[in-house]
Amino acid sequence: MRVDFAPLDGITKAVFRQVWDRFFGGVDRYFIPFFSPTDQHILTDRDRHELTGSMDLPCVPQVMTCRAADFLWAVERLADLGFSEANLNLGCPSGTVTAKGKGSGFLARPDDLDRFFDEVFSKTRLPVSVKTRLGYQEAGEFPRLLEIFNRYPIQCLTIHPRIRAEKYRGEIHMDCFALAMESSRNPVCCNGDLQTVEDVRRLEARFPSLEAVMIGRGAIADPALPRKLQGGPAATRKELQAFAAALYQGYQEFYGQAHPASQRMKEIWFYLIHLFENGERLGGRLRCSRGPKAYELLETEIFQTLPLRDHAEGDLF
């Protein structure tokens, strides 16, 4: 079974993908956080940089739009850049995105989605995969959506089994996911709340025909999780320390200054702190800290004082 790294906008940037892969790896593919095609069909320098910043790794770029012409334009650019698959974002729950009918907002208009796919799949130069939720308002929308997905040769249907209002928290709807496993004509990938090797093994045992799992926050909290899934060892303190230092260095080079680099590192630590015992107090102080110096001191304190666990625990999701 394949293991995909989930796209986490603002977190799994090119710098992160490079450093993470060098230290841990164990995933088959990295999904690049979404980019939205502009009306003028111009690939901005920023988007191009993010898209091409880790071409030596197996990456799948993600596009967020509800217009077939824009998606097809993006596919052409992605093919020119050397990618071999394009992923459509049907999951983003953000209000600014859904208000424009994109991300999970597109799920509220199944007939339009059907027409979108009809045009995209008749013209696309690359295989197209989809990352979706169960519905916009309620999980009851899913059977109709699945019927639509089943009409098209979707490379892989990655399902985050929640509706838009649930964002990334609360119980996931495994009953709906089971329906997808029974009825999907396309290969299915399961995404959501996978935190330990046991979580993944349980899922595999229940759904032996699962094509892939996609892991996001669980692999930030425990960077060795995908490696452990391949039979590799847990992360050591020394390794984590070197990883954090290399990532901080990479961000400083990217931004040309320490302040935004320390902000990025704090986002990583929001998850990574769960790999340490009794991390609540220092994790809280790190979140509230200001400036690179405070971040650096607190990170040193975490590594010097907190016992390391062999898997992430606590309220991660």
Ligand X SMILES: Cc1cc2nc3c(=O)[nH]c(=O)nc-3n(C[C@H](O)[C@H](O)[C@H](O)COP(=O)(O)O)c2cc1C
Cβ neighbours of residue 297 under 8 Å, at least 6 residues apart?
none
CB of 94 to ligand X, least distance (A): 9
Nearest residue (CB) to ligand X, 130 versus 146? 130
Output 60 or 146, the one with its CB closest to ligand X: 60
- Shortest gap between Cβ of 150 and ligand X (angstroms)? 21
Burial 218-237 (b: 16+ CB within 10 A, else e): bbbbbbbbbbbbeeeebbee
Judged by beta carbon, residue 271 or residue 276, the one nearer ligand X is 271
What one-character DSSP code corresponds to residue 216? Answer: S
Closest-approach residue to ligand X (CB): 216
The three-point CA angle 272-54-19 to 5° equals 30
Q: Which is nearer to ligand X, 303 or 317 (CB)?
A: 317
Total H helices, total E strands in the chain:
14, 8
> Which lies closer to ligand X via its Cβ, residue 10 or residue 140?
10
Residue 12's SS3 state is coil
Q: What is the number of other CB atoms lying within 10 angstroms of the CB of residue 16?
A: 24
**Least separation, in Å, of the C-beta of 90 and ligand X?**
8
Q: Closest approach of Cβ 297 to ligand X, in Å?
A: 26
Residues that bind ligand X (CB under 6 A): 6-11, 33-34, 62, 89, 91, 131, 160, 168, 191-194, 215-218, 317
Q: How far is the CB of 12 from ligand X (least distance, A)?
A: 8
